[in-house]
Amino acid sequence: MSEPGSRRLSAGMVGGGEGADIGKTHRLAMRLDDRYALVAGVFGRDADSARRLAGDLGVDRVYRDHREMADAESARPDGVDVVTIATPNDSHFELARTFLRAGISVVCEKPLTRDSQTSAELIATAESTGAILAVPHCYSAYAMVRHAARLVRDGALGDIRTVVVEHSSGWASTPLELGDHRQARWRTDPDVAGFPSVLSDLGTHALHLLRYVTDLEPARVSAELTTLVPGRRVFDNASVRLTLSNGAPATLWASMAATGNEHGLRLRVFGEKAGLDWRHEDPQHLVIRDRDGAATILAHGMSSLSEDATRLTRPGMGHPEGFIEAFANFYADLADLLRARRDGTTAPTRELSIPTGVDGLIGLQFVEAAAASHALDGAWVDAASVRPMAGV
Amino acid sequence: MSEPGSRRLSAGMVGGGEGADIGKTHRLAMRLDDRYALVAGVFGRDADSARRLAGDLGVDRVYRDHREMADAESARPDGVDVVTIATPNDSHFELARTFLRAGISVVCEKPLTRDSQTSAELIATAESTGAILAVPHCYSAYAMVRHAARLVRDGALGDIRTVVVEHSSGWASTPLELGDHRQARWRTDPDVAGFPSVLSDLGTHALHLLRYVTDLEPARVSAELTTLVPGRRVFDNASVRLTLSNGAPATLWASMAATGNEHGLRLRVFGEKAGLDWRHEDPQHLVIRDRDGAATILAHGMSSLSEDATRLTRPGMGHPEGFIEAFANFYADLADLLRARRDGTTAPTRELSIPTGVDGLIGLQFVEAAAASHALDGAWVDAASVRPMAGV
Amino acid sequence: MSEPGSRRLSAGMVGGGEGADIGKTHRLAMRLDDRYALVAGVFGRDADSARRLAGDLGVDRVYRDHREMADAESARPDGVDVVTIATPNDSHFELARTFLRAGISVVCEKPLTRDSQTSAELIATAESTGAILAVPHCYSAYAMVRHAARLVRDGALGDIRTVVVEHSSGWASTPLELGDHRQARWRTDPDVAGFPSVLSDLGTHALHLLRYVTDLEPARVSAELTTLVPGRRVFDNASVRLTLSNGAPATLWASMAATGNEHGLRLRVFGEKAGLDWRHEDPQHLVIRDRDGAATILAHGMSSLSEDATRLTRPGMGHPEGFIEAFANFYADLADLLRARRDGTTAPTRELSIPTGVDGLIGLQFVEAAAASHALDGAWVDAASVRPMAGV
Amino acid sequence: MSEPGSRRLSAGMVGGGEGADIGKTHRLAMRLDDRYALVAGVFGRDADSARRLAGDLGVDRVYRDHREMADAESARPDGVDVVTIATPNDSHFELARTFLRAGISVVCEKPLTRDSQTSAELIATAESTGAILAVPHCYSAYAMVRHAARLVRDGALGDIRTVVVEHSSGWASTPLELGDHRQARWRTDPDVAGFPSVLSDLGTHALHLLRYVTDLEPARVSAELTTLVPGRRVFDNASVRLTLSNGAPATLWASMAATGNEHGLRLRVFGEKAGLDWRHEDPQHLVIRDRDGAATILAHGMSSLSEDATRLTRPGMGHPEGFIEAFANFYADLADLLRARRDGTTAPTRELSIPTGVDGLIGLQFVEAAAASHALDGAWVDAASVRPMAGV
């Protein structure tokens, strides 16, 4: 990857206060390629703690709340180009809407909002002000996932016949929420995370990965939501069948209680000519299996990969890149869009780019359809995908 | 494993003529531990070919059909102790019934018959004559599968919370049946294999593996059957949800068209305390994952394994054993039962032994329930398991 | 693999009494494909135990010692076609010589004898009587090893540039010999196993695998022999450098004390165009890596493999075969040679067949050269390979 | 990892101009945790290109050469705290000496200099001015390598009995240097890289990894250097035996021409009680094998790991970290030392910290001893390690 031009983008953040992992990950990802300077933020309700963090981060403009921030930043000539929202799910809508209305681009953690209607409203708001609304389904930004998506689009697999995706983590296979595990507490609180929590949190990542690589949309879903850890107040496990837009069957398994699993994100696509297999436990490789059963393992950094993958490679062959780098790839691609908006230039046109509000919306529709199917004992429910994933 | 005592059991075979793979596998498995002598058989309709094969195999008593064989063998003082039925599915019932009625024990390939009623009839017939009816779900006879079943029974996983099993092979991901691939032709012929062919063939193996290791039964199923290879006349792919007898959710995926896969049999069990993972591509290892995410790989032949596994070990640590050995384990355990019957002695009592007619029946009930669920667009259907798997 | 013709070969065995693993493995391997009937043997010095074992095995002709056996069997019209010698190393020469002189073919465990001179004498004796002298370096009989050897011969790797082979087992990483572990006791007794025990036992397997796959011979060696387990009376670890006949450097590591390892046999060959990698822990796969770094995993049973591999495949793709099957492949190829000798016909000509006395001799020369180098503090010593490995 | 305090360290760089990968990697690593601001540098001889890069990087103080830079920076009150030297090997000594003499700390790529004498001189210079001299053998900064080192120090392996380390890359298995591959050209130029190039480049990394994890030093070496790619002007392959300071034998294989390999860095340590295995292709896992053969895979981010590992974990379990993160760990630990020096405070005392000049020197001594041994046809040569690796 080339290093950035001289003028960094100005970034803000809401959430990500002390002890909040996801905010820190966003900051690591923004920083890696030096395309962003974090200059403004709202870092939680405790003023002392917020000031301390801001000091550590070198952030000068600390606001009490998002409204004050949106007003002030949109008024400045050097106001932030983008704000990252890294707060629990129930606040996403209000926060994102405020910034988008102020014409400020937004990176909003998934699930985008708590329902598809509000997600659609955010998209409309973004369109009306020209702001960018990006959703960090960052697994799609791994070089080898991009290469997988390229292979599918280039016909290397032929027609897609079935897809099996799983995001079955073991992180919450014990009742962590009874202790002081902050993330476990809100992710198992139905009022904050919603009762289909595992689908909102992990299922939407799995769905996006499936959609991103296959270029197919969910047409209908049938879901069974279950609770594996006794006493838990949300569903922590979900088995979903999908019919994809080309008629192919697919299954999606999401779990936060698959005892012993690491991250458990894996995508397998079976086509007429070949199958592909990608696992987040080994993200720098991609396996292609031909009809005879030979498995070819492609490695990150190989000189023969597609431009979609090689442009996302930093030190090169033999030097593993991980989650932060994938997240940074998301931010790097976003930077191209933000700069074009800022400078009034044209962004590079890429078939394979980053997820946006539409992807967030489709994720919400998926969660809603799955919840509806569950209520109907697994009956098929329309996935109601409004429109195909838009390349940005 | 110790080597056999002096007097071998006398075995017969129906089917397994020239070019029939499964019959050959049965013979390899019977031969390995030298507990059986193949002395009688019906080897297809072509008399010349049958005689030639019998000659090659050193089989003296060649019959024209099973009735003649059953009559003659049951009349001899040295008649066969057991007959292996290795013919296409539609003939199983008639063949097995004939031998069982004649008091001759039977090894019958799965699916046991074409419906649960006839399977139940076979079980009753076997009970009435005291003959043994065994069904070679031989994956359960791998040493490491036995060890897995032992660990579950000993509580190493705690309560079972969810199970994911798949038998997703790629063997028929092209329309092989249009050529002269014999097995492909009958397995995709609904009149011979039944329309839910993939479930009868592979799904029943997956189900048995799940039941064997977890000691749980299917309570209800919800199934989606699909055809991945255009033009195929049977279902070649199935996604099944199960609720197990302890209330835990499970999923079972069976496919004969998962492009690029080898055998694709894998069982993952997630419990309160740990998870386990076994793959047929690497049968000599078993992975146990603890709640913290550490994965311990146990290897065939390790001195610390349970007696259930070590008694099934031939050359020892570092010397892989494969499918034939697992099949031979099935025949070795069966031999203990057959000898006890022959000699009027008591067979060793083992909690973990071989699958019998009841397992075949439960397999059929599963296929029927899945087909019924499919007809109801995936609605839940009782698995109607008559009784728990009986240790023999 | 096709099943055998009607008349089995008659086999005898010396050694392999009760509790002797290697003898049992030979019997399993002979039995699997039904090409041999074990009809005669010397099963240890204890007459009762010998008679009991013979009874269990159905062996009628039990002899007190090898001389009696050689005399009697060579005098019978239906005398044994081959005798397997499965005794500790120090008896090999005397036993093999006796049978070969009597015109009886021999399968002799490695190391063939205790020095290269006696090995050369055995070869000469075999030639003089026309008997076959085979040495079961059976790892070369795995289908995927045969395929590897085929790929090298067909130029798929280009010129071989370097080879790395290791047989680093952990079986004796504790002082087992202090207990009652029979094999450990004689393998660590310099009077029985020789002081470079690890090279005789494991190093010769590794060397043969290297030679078999690459078609190259050792030209010179430099060795360091060490003892990892304190107090052990033989060398249990060896690091050897070789210069191969084409000038390429190679390394060979043999250990019986590599704590935690299973069998630890692995061969890596690096050529001008590609590299290959085979591990005994996963014998049904072969990895080929191209210059760009793509790794292709070929699987046992794939339809596109060479005839050298496919003819050694029993149940087919997805059904792992293991050590016993590889050993059976050795015996199957040997059977073709023995029958031709017995029947006066011509054996099939195969470039890739089984190891013979010459291979045993080259193994001995290697051990001797390594020991000599060790005595010279690792100085290079000629491997003195008399002649290239002969296809039989 | 916690995020940095407010005041960043000031950093400079020499080398790492446009197209130089290693300089870019240093910058990524410095940036990730936000502990450094790159403020000064010499970016190659072409003034335009240097200015352009400086502009992109936001570096204000661009110098024509290192002398000018050392003078100016040491004169400024806000002069750089550290300079990274990322130039070809032959310039290291002069550059590092200049900055160290000026009291400026240095990160110098390996090999530290071209011979041990000059390396020792650098160490002395650093000691005389109190400047820190660090050498980025950054593989030792992976969390799981740190955990491995901790396990060894805590006695989990018992006495170390043998070590096998390899850094066998395939990057230069074709004659890349004949084209315009910049790194290949200087790394195969004996005047720049030295004739034992593969040992200087890769062998020193392998040696350091061995030393870091085992806490053992090389006592003597025996080496064979070879050239695998015909026509190449340096050695591209090396097989080295070592006797370690506790008497244990070890082998080290370094190659830049192992066709098809990715990075090929792997360390295996075999102890009295257990073995460990770490591979750079999968850096987030560490395998521990017990004497019975059970292999336990520990994963980056597990809550039960040692503090040495957990303090180097960013997003946590299931989120792979790669080469840049390891490099950033090196810079993070260095930052603690640099700040203490800058602020006159006491740096945290850590048994497991970063490699320094002494490690660079021991690497050079190793290369020299190996070259001497090679000249003596592999005779043993003293490794002449001056003193044990110093914790900083």
- Residue D5 banded pLDDT, cuts 50, 70, 90: very low
Q: What are phi and psi of B318, to 5 degrees?
A: 85, -5
**pLDDT recorded at residue A300:** 97
C390 shares contact with chain D (CB less than 8 Å): no
CA dihedral A205, A206, A208, A209 (to 10 degrees): 110
Contact A295 C299 (CB under 8 A): yes
Q: Which residues on D lie below 8 Å from C274 (Cβ)?
A: 259-260
Question: Which residue in C364, C339, C346 sits closest to C122, CA to CA?
Answer: C364
C77 shares contact with chain A (CB less than 8 Å): no
pLDDT at D391 over 50: no
- Residue D4 banded pLDDT, cuts 50, 70, 90: low
Contact D3 A27 (CB under 8 A): yes
Contact B296 D297 (CB under 8 A): yes
Residue type, D331: Y
Name the residue of chain A whose CA is nearest to D5's CA.
Answer: A56
C297 shares contact with chain A (CB less than 8 Å): yes
Residue type, D114: R
Contact A174 B291 (CB under 8 A): yes
Distance separating alpha carbons of residues C91 and C87, to the nearest angstrom: 7
B32 shares contact with chain C (CB less than 8 Å): yes
Q: Which residues on D lie below 8 Å from C248 (Cβ)?
A: 228
Per residue in A292-345, pLDDT (tens digit) is: 999 999 999 999 999 999 999 998 899 999 999 999 999 999 999 999 999 999
Distance separating alpha carbons of residues A25 and D320, to the nearest angstrom: 13
Angle value at C-alpha D30, between D25 and D31, nearest 5 degrees? 100
**pLDDT recorded at residue B4:** 52
Looking at per-residue pLDDT, the higher value among B387 and D333 belongs to D333
Helix (H) or strand (E) holding A343: helix A323-343
Contact D304 B292 (CB under 8 A): yes
Which chains are within 8 Å of A by 3+ CB pairs?
A: B, C, D
B380 shares contact with chain C (CB less than 8 Å): no
Average pLDDT, chain B: 93
* Residues sharing a CB contact under 8 Å with residue C302, sequence separation 6 or more, in sequence order: A292, A293, A294, C317
Question: Which residue in D319, D314, D338, D17 sits closest to A31, CA to CA?
Answer: D314
DSSP annotation of C200 reads: I
Helix (H) or strand (E) holding B254: strand B249-255
- Tell me whether residue D279 is exposed, middle or buried, using C-beta atoms within 10 angstroms of its C-beta: 0 to 12, 13 to 18, 19 or more: middle
Name the residue of chain B whose CA is nearest to D293's CA.
Answer: B302
Residue type, B66: H
Q: What are phi and psi of C141, to 5 degrees?
A: -100, 5
H-type helices in chain B, by residue range?
21-32, 47-57, 66-75, 92-101, 116-129, 143-153, 182-187, 190-193, 197-198, 204-214, 307-310, 323-343, 357-375
Q: What is the CA radius of gyration of chain C?
A: 20
Buried b or exposed e, range B338-348, using 16+ CB within 10 angstroms: bbebeeeeebe
Q: Which residues on B lie below 8 Å from C169 (Cβ)?
A: 318
Per residue in B177-195, pLDDT (tens digit) is: 999 998 899 999 999 889 9
Q: Check if the beta carbon of residue A305 is closer than 8 Å to that of residue A143.
A: yes
Q: How far is CA D182 from CA D187, D198, D257, in A?
A: 9, 16, 17
Residue A182 neighbours by CB distance under 10 Å: 14
Q: Check if the beta carbon of residue D226 is closer than 8 Å to that of residue C164.
A: no
- Residue D19 banded pLDDT, cuts 50, 70, 90: low
pLDDT at D6 over 80: no
Q: Which residues on A lie below 8 Å from B242 (Cβ)?
A: none
Contact D275 C257 (CB under 8 A): no
Most distant pair of Cα atoms in chain A: their distance:
63
Distance separating alpha carbons of residues A147 and A145, to the nearest angstrom: 5
Q: Whats the size of chain D, residue-wise?
A: 392
Q: Which residues on B lie below 8 Å from D293 (Cβ)?
A: 299, 301-302, 317
Q: Check if the beta carbon of residue C318 is closer than 8 Å to that of residue B264.
A: yes
Distance separating alpha carbons of residues A186 and A181, to the nearest angstrom: 9
Q: Which residues on C lie below 8 Å from D173 (Cβ)?
A: 270, 291
Residues D141-169, mean pLDDT to the nearest whole number: 98
D298 shares contact with chain B (CB less than 8 Å): yes
Q: Taking chain C (392 residues) in consecutive chunks of 10 residues, what is each chunk's mean pLDDT?
A: 65 83 91 95 88 90 96 97 92 96 96 94 97 97 98 98 98 96 92 93 98 97 98 98 98 98 97 98 97 97 96 93 97 96 92 96 96 97 61 34
* Residues sharing a CB contact under 8 Å with residue C344, sequence separation 6 or more, in sequence order: none
Residues D241-266, mean pLDDT to the nearest whole number: 98
Bridge partners (DSSP) listed for residue B244: B218
**pLDDT recorded at residue A348:** 87
Q: Which residues on B lie below 8 Å from A161 (Cβ)?
A: 228-229, 257, 259
Q: Which residues on A lie below 8 Å from C305 (Cβ)?
A: none
How close, in Å, is residue A292 to chain C by CA atoms? 6
Point out the residue among A239, A261, A377 whose CB comes nearest to the CB of B275. A261
Bridge partners (DSSP) listed for residue B105: B82
Indicate if the alpha-carbon torsion angle B240, B246, B249, B255 is positive or negative.
negative
Question: Which residue in D241, D169, D278 sits closest to C162, CA to CA?
Answer: D169
Point out the residue among D157, D226, D380 whose CB comes nearest to the CB of C249. D226
Q: Is omega for the bond preceding C111 within 30 degrees of 0, making it cis?
A: yes
Long-range contacts of D91-97 (CB under 8 A, 24+ apart): D91/D15, D93/D118, D93/D121, D93/D122, D94/D66, D95/D14, D95/D66, D96/D122, D96/D133, D97/D121, D97/D122, D97/D125
* Residues sharing a CB contact under 8 Å with residue A45, sequence separation 6 or more, in sequence order: none
Q: Which residues on D lie below 8 Å from C174 (Cβ)?
A: 291
Point out the residue among D292, D296, D302 whose CB comes nearest to the CB of B303. D292
Looking at per-residue pLDDT, the higher value among C44 and D356 belongs to D356
Residues B7-30, mean pLDDT to the nearest whole number: 87
Per residue in A256-279, pLDDT (tens digit) is: 999 999 999 999 999 999 999 999
Phi-psi domain of D247 (left: phi exceeds 0; alpha: psi -120 through 50; beta: other): left
**pLDDT recorded at residue C16:** 78
**pLDDT recorded at residue C390:** 39
Name the residue of chain A whose CA is nearest to C298's CA.
Answer: A294
Contact D298 B301 (CB under 8 A): no
H-type helices in A87-203, by residue range?
92-101, 116-129, 143-153, 182-187, 190-193, 197-198
**pLDDT recorded at residue A213:** 98
Query: What DSSP assignment string belongs to A215-278?
Result: ---EEEEEEEEE--STT-SS--EEEEEEEETTS-EEEEEEES--TT-SS-EEEEEEESSEEEEE
B249 shares contact with chain C (CB less than 8 Å): no
How close, in Å, is residue A164 to chain B by CA atoms? 10
Token pair, residue B50, equals: 């049958």
Bridge partners (DSSP) listed for residue A83: A12, A106
- Residue D27 banded pLDDT, cuts 50, 70, 90: very high
Distance separating alpha carbons of residues B197 and B139, to the nearest angstrom: 19
Residues B280-284, mean pLDDT to the nearest whole number: 97
**pLDDT recorded at residue C45:** 80
Phi-psi domain of A293 (left: phi exceeds 0; alpha: psi -120 through 50; beta: other): left
* Residues sharing a CB contact under 8 Å with residue C262, sequence separation 6 or more, in sequence order: B299, B301, B317, B318, C169, C170, C281, D293
Token pair, residue C310, equals: 């496919």
SS3 string, chain D, reads CCCCCCCCEEEEEEECCCCCHHHHHHHHHHHHCCCEEEEEEECCCCHHHHHHHHHHHCCCEECCCHHHHHHHHHHCCCCCCEEEEECCHHHHHHHHHHHHHCCCEEEECCCCCCCHHHHHHHHHHHHHHCCCEECCCHHHHCHHHHHHHHHHHCCCCCCEEEEEEEEECCCCCCCHHHCCCHHHHHHCCHHHHCCCHHHHHHHHHHHHHHHHHHCCCEEEEEEEEECCCCCCCCCCEEEEEEEECCCCEEEEEEECCCCCCCCCEEEEEEECCEEEEEECCCCCEEEEEECCCCEEEEECCCCCCCHHHHCCCCCCCCCCCCHHHHHHHHHHHHHHHHHHHHHCCCCCCCCCCCCEHHHHHHHHHHHHHHHHHHHCCCCCEECCCCCCCCCC
Question: Which residue in B34, A290, A70, B172 sits closest to C55, CA to CA?
Answer: B34
Q: How far is CA B68 from CA A189, B128, D343, in A?
A: 70, 21, 99
Inter-chain contacts counted by CB atoms under 8 A, chains A and D: 123
Residues B229-243, mean pLDDT to the nearest whole number: 98
Distance separating alpha carbons of residues A123 and A101, to the nearest angstrom: 11
Whole-model pTM: value is 0.96
Residue type, A75: A
Point out the residue among C294, C301, C302 whose CB comes nearest to the CB of A302. C294
Q: Taking chain A (392 residues) in consecutive chunks of 10 residues, what is each chunk's mean pLDDT?
A: 65 83 91 95 88 90 96 97 92 96 96 94 97 97 98 98 98 96 92 93 98 97 98 98 98 98 97 98 97 97 96 93 97 96 92 96 96 97 61 34
C156 shares contact with chain D (CB less than 8 Å): no
Contact B322 C321 (CB under 8 A): yes
B323 shares contact with chain C (CB less than 8 Å): yes
